[in-house]
Structure 1
Amino acid sequence: MERWLILKIQSLLLRHPLVETGAVRMARWGFWVYILYGLVQWFRPGKLPQQFQRRQSMTEALLSVGISSFFSFLISLLWRRQRPFAAHRAVKQSVLHKNNASFPSNHTMNAVAAALTIFRYQKWSGIVLLIWSILIGLSRIACGVHYVTDILGGMVLGCVSSRIVGQSRLIHLVSFLVPVILKTGRKR
C-alpha cells in the first residue's frame, strides 16, 4: 500500500518539470525558511516587551525541535526503516540522500514542532509555517526519500514535542530567561 501510494504521488507531482523542480528545492532547502524566520524574529527591532515575547517564542520553538529530535534519535535506536528509493526500485529518487532511517521524517517533524510552538505566540505566522511544513512533507514523498507514514509520524511527534514545551513550566521559565539574560549580557 505504501509503495503504491508513493508511486501515485510521484506520478501526479513529478509529471511536470516545474513542479518537480519545486519539489526538489522544497525537499532540499525548505527548512531554511524556519531558520531565517527565527533569525529575523530574534533580531527584529521593536519595543522591549515585544522583543522579549518574540525571543521567548523562538527559544521555545528551538527547544521543541530539540525534543522532537531526541524522540527521533530514540526511535532510530529501536527501528530502522529503509528509505523508499532503497526499498523499491520503481520509486524515483529526486534528491540525493543517504539510506539512513526513513521513519520519522525529521524535516517534517521539526517543521511541525516549530510551527505549532510559534502558533501559540503568533497565530498568522504559525499557520503559514504549518502549511509550509505540510509542503515540506509532500516534497519529501515526491522526491522518494520518505513514505506517507514517515511524514504522518513526523507530524505526530512534532505535535507531541510542541505540546510538551507548551505545558512545561520549566521550559517556559527557561524560554523566558534566555532572552532576558542575553539582553542584559549585552549592556555590560
Structure 2
Amino acid sequence: MTKLSASPLAIYLNDHLAGAAGGVELLRRAARAGRDESAARQLRRLADEVAEDRASLMRVMRDLGVAPSRSRLLLGRLGEKAGRLKTNGHLLSRSPLSNVLELEAMRLGVEGKACCWRTLRILAGTDRRLDPEALDRLLRRAEEQTARLEELREEAAAATFRPDGPEEERG
C-alpha cells in the first residue's frame, strides 16, 4: 500500500506549502527593500495574510493526513533566496526593475495559491474532511491579494519604465 505522504495530493500540497514559505519571505524582504511607506505597509500586511494562509494550508494538510515535507520547505526557502542573485542590471545596489519582477513573482505565487484553494474546493465535494466555506473564504482572500499586488505592480512598472528613466535613478 502506498503511503499517503507520497500521494500526488500530498506532493501537490507540500509544493504549495513550500511556495507559501518562500512567498512569505519574499513579501517580508520586499517590504524592507526601500519602497515608499504605503507600498511597504501593504506588503507587510500581505506577508501576514500569506503566513495565515500558510497556516490554513497546514491545517488542511493535517486534516487530510498529509505530513509537511521538510525537504520541500527547505527547497522553497532556497528558491526564494536564489531569486535574489539576479542583478537586474545593478551589481552593488538594488535595481528599480527588482520591484517590478518581485511583484510579478508575488502575484504569480498568490495566483497559484488560489488554484490550490480551487482544487481543494472541488475535492470538498466528495471529502468531508475539507470545509467548503473555509476554502471559499481563502479563495476570496487570494483573489483580493492578487488585485492588491496588481495595483502595486502597475505602480512599480509605471515608475520603472518611464521614458525619462526610473524615478529612483533620476534623483
Q: TM-score, normalised by structure 2?
A: 0.36
Q: TM-score, normalised by structure 1?
A: 0.34
Q: Identify which of structures 1 and 2 has the higher relative contact order when contacts are C-alpha pairs closer than 8 Å and 6+ apart.
A: 1
